[in-house]
Amino acid sequence: MENEEMENEEALKLIAEVGKASWEALMNAKRLVKPGAKLVDVANAAEDYMEQKGFGLAFPLNLSINDIAAHYAPSFEDDKIFSENDVVKVDFGAEKGGILGDCAVTVDLSGKFGPLVDAAEAALADAISVVKAGVQVREVGKAIENAIISRGFNPIRNLGGHQVAKHELHSDVFIPNFDNGDDTVLEEGLVFAIEPFATTGKRGAVTESDVWEIYGYNGSTAVRSQDARAILKAVENTYEHEPFAARWLSEVINERFRLYAAIKELARAGVLSPYPALIDTDSGVVAQAEKEIQVEKDGCRILTS
């Protein structure tokens, strides 16, 4: 066998392995989401589970509740608990060798938003059914839009799926949740996360909040305080590639005020970029469904299942 063929075979094997681990870890996290459970306990347990299975984290566990659509991770010493009225988006992914997984489900603890959850899941299934090499991304978006609107809800139009590349969770190609007119075609072999968001909100849009608990590293620069320098060193040593949670750095500074002051100093200096929690502009309740797929000539392979 040629070296290139062996490398391709190994790459495909790793992509499948990461996808399978992502889904198993997501299902484990889903089981932990119960009324009365602390968000930070669920996040710590789910992230520990992933690492015990021999994988890194593509990003911190996201636990986004009700009108928060995405990017909420528990803070250090977070005292929030799940209530019986919550609709929880659980978003997670494994990492190994720079290969990233990404998948999500919605847990309706209230029992009142089944049709909304079903709309997101139906949109995901319909989108996956149209994916194959040569299909335009607008066609995937149209399938998502039709599935959600036909069930009486709105797609969130300023969120969507994305190409996934090595150490790049959000790579070049965007997958819209509506027909946005983009004629970019899906190429065979590329990996994408298909990610419908359905909302009860009228405008179908999210806005950035002032909650910053997830960060990415941009590159080093000089910073003034000793605490900021200590955090920077830890980030450079451990979190150079993938997004990380602020609370993970409590191993460096175990005092809340100092920890967040140092992180904000690094963000102001441009060393770190925050991923703000994203909130529905109409305070609508949001459901999400997400799977990672690899485009094939006549369809796609579902990686996270």
Round to whole Å and give the CA distance between 128 and 141.
11
Round to whole Å and give the CA distance between 301 and 287.
24
Among candidate residues 17, 108, 126, 162, the one labeled active-site is 162
Residue 172 has φ and ψ, to the nearest 5°, of: -60, -50
Examine the residue annotation and report whether 195 is marked as an active-site residue of this protein.
Answer: yes
Which residues face 105 on adjacent strands? 90
Written as one letter, the residue type at 111 is: G
Examine the residue annotation and report whether 91 is marked as an active-site residue of this protein.
Answer: yes
Round to whole Å and give the CA distance between 69 and 198.
9
Among candidate residues 78, 168, 170, 296, the one labeled active-site is 170
Closest by CA to 59, choosing from 247, 243, 250, is 243
Q: Give the three-class secondary structure for 45.
A: helix
Examine the residue annotation and report whether 251 is marked as an active-site residue of this protein.
Answer: no
Q: Structure tokens of 266?
A: 């690094």
Among candidate residues 108, 265, 280, 290, the one labeled active-site is 290
Round to whole Å and give the CA distance between 121 and 217.
33
Check residue 247 and report its DSSP letter.
G
Among candidate residues 47, 91, 145, 213, the one labeled active-site is 91
Examine the residue annotation and report whether 298 is marked as an active-site residue of this protein.
Answer: no
Among candidate residues 47, 102, 121, 145, the one labeled active-site is 102
Among candidate residues 47, 195, 213, 242, the one labeled active-site is 195
Examine the residue annotation and report whether 241 is marked as an active-site residue of this protein.
Answer: no
Check residue 75 and report its DSSP letter.
P
Round to whole Å and give the CA distance between 32 and 50.
14
Active site residues: 91, 102, 162, 170, 195, 290
